Structure 1
Amino acid sequence: MDEQTSERRNQNSQFLEVTLREFQLTDVEDFFVWASDDRVTAWSRRYTFTNKEDVLAFMEKTVLRHPWMRAICLEGRPVGEISVTRHMDERQCSAELGYMLASQYWGRGIMTEAVKLVLGTIFGDMEGLERLEANVLVQNVGSQKVLEKAGFTKEGILKKYLILKGKISDIVMYSFIPTDN
């Protein structure tokens, strides 16, 4: 897949180049930055990594084998990840969006741009995809804003929907259906 690119003006009126590309094992140092940050992983099903060896093993076993996981790059350097995972049951026409961004980049519009880049290609990349959904913890207001700015529709709150790190959690269900937009 070719690299996807978006430019966004930051608070200092400079353009930030946001790109998506496939991960490489050489990204392990950058991946460790957000994967080892409790503030980032608090919103994820994934636990916080404590060493680079485990991150490397995770990248080899999971990241590089994932059908659609990309590095979110700022000026060419990975600062986060974004993935689309197809449902493999009766919901095969839908997929789930997931993402993480290093905390030092929060609030700059980078994730919103990355999500928009995904929306620009994913329905062509995944044959038969009709719906992209995102499940966000009710407390994760920042992620909800990202999805709304990117054009997702808030469908509602699913109470006691999942157990996340041993705690029963409510989530907000978002969807993007291209024919609705």
Structure 2
Amino acid sequence: MEGATICSTTDSIEEGFDLTQISLRPISLDDLDDLMLWTTDEKVARYCTWEPYTSKEDGINFIQNIAGKSLWFRAICLNNRAIGCIDFFSCEGQRRNRHKSVELGYALASIYWGKGIATHAVKQVIKVAFSEFPHLERLQALVDVENVASQKVLEKAGFQREGVLRKYVVIKGKSRDMVMFSVLSNDPLS
């Protein structure tokens, strides 16, 4: 979805709101209505591998089948309401006995973009990745070159930009250039 310093409680997002109201917890079918608010949003799905959901069955499938395939998956919650998700999963192409790297992914309801929530969640996940999975050496993230906001989230959270992978993946039928970011278990983080 860290060894990083979690944002302080004075990091106010908007009047009357601070980052202490953000938590990460397992997702459940009780979150279906909240999940549908952001998974049906074309702005959220734009850089994701999935198309906007069109039915509650899509959401149920996501909660019951897709989320469970991640190594670690949590809902990003505001006052315990799921406003997004964050996970990390085994990097493709690795031998089964060499899981030293995992890949981070996240999505957040567009009404919460630009408020520091994604950065806060990513910082929490860096801490989780390297403390709960001590064998990990690398947490990486691939971001579409056009998704500048997500690149900024990762940089603010302590990830280092490694470079552009040209025509690296096909998403929704189109070859996409991706920016590779990483943070290592021994990287100094603020």
Q: Identical aligned pairs, as a percentage?
A: 42
Contact residue 87 and residue 105 of structure 2 kept, 8 A: yes
**CA distance 1:180–1:37, shift in 2 (3 Å):** same
Aligned to 1:130: 137
**After TM superposition, where is structure 1 displaced by more than 4 Å over at least 4 residues in a row?**
none
Aligned to 2:62: 58
Q: In angstroms, what is the RMSD of aligned CA positions?
A: 1.7
Amino acid at match of 2:180: M
Aligned to 2:23: 19
Contact residue 83 and residue 108 of structure 2 kept, 8 A: yes
Aligned counterparts of 2:161 and 2:48: Cα–Cα separation in 1: 19
Aligned counterparts of 1:97 and 1:146: Cα–Cα separation in 2: 12
Greater Cα offset, 82-91 or 114-123: 82-91
Alignment equivalent of 1:36, drawn from 37, 40, 43 = 40
Contact residue 70 and residue 90 of structure 2 kept, 8 A: no
Which 5+ residue runs of structure 1 have no aligned equivalent? none
Helix, strand or coil at the partner of 1:10: strand
Aligned to 2:81: 77
Greater Cα offset, 92-101 or 13-22: 13-22
Aligned counterparts of 1:57 and 1:14: Cα–Cα separation in 2: 32
Amino acid at match of 2:15: N
Helix, strand or coil at the partner of 1:107: coil
Contact residue 134 and residue 173 of structure 1 kept, 8 A: yes
Contact residue 158 and residue 170 of structure 1 kept, 8 A: yes
Question: How do residues 99-118 of structure 1 correspond to structure 2 at under 5 angstroms?
Answer: 99-118=106-125
Amino acid at match of 2:18: F
Amino acid at match of 2:159: F
Aligned counterparts of 1:95 and 1:29: Cα–Cα separation in 2: 29
Highest RCO, 1 vs 2 (Cα 8 Å, sep ≥ 6): 2
| Residue 16 of structure 2 is aligned to residue 9 of structure 1 | no
Aligned counterparts of 1:31 and 1:13: Cα–Cα separation in 2: 24
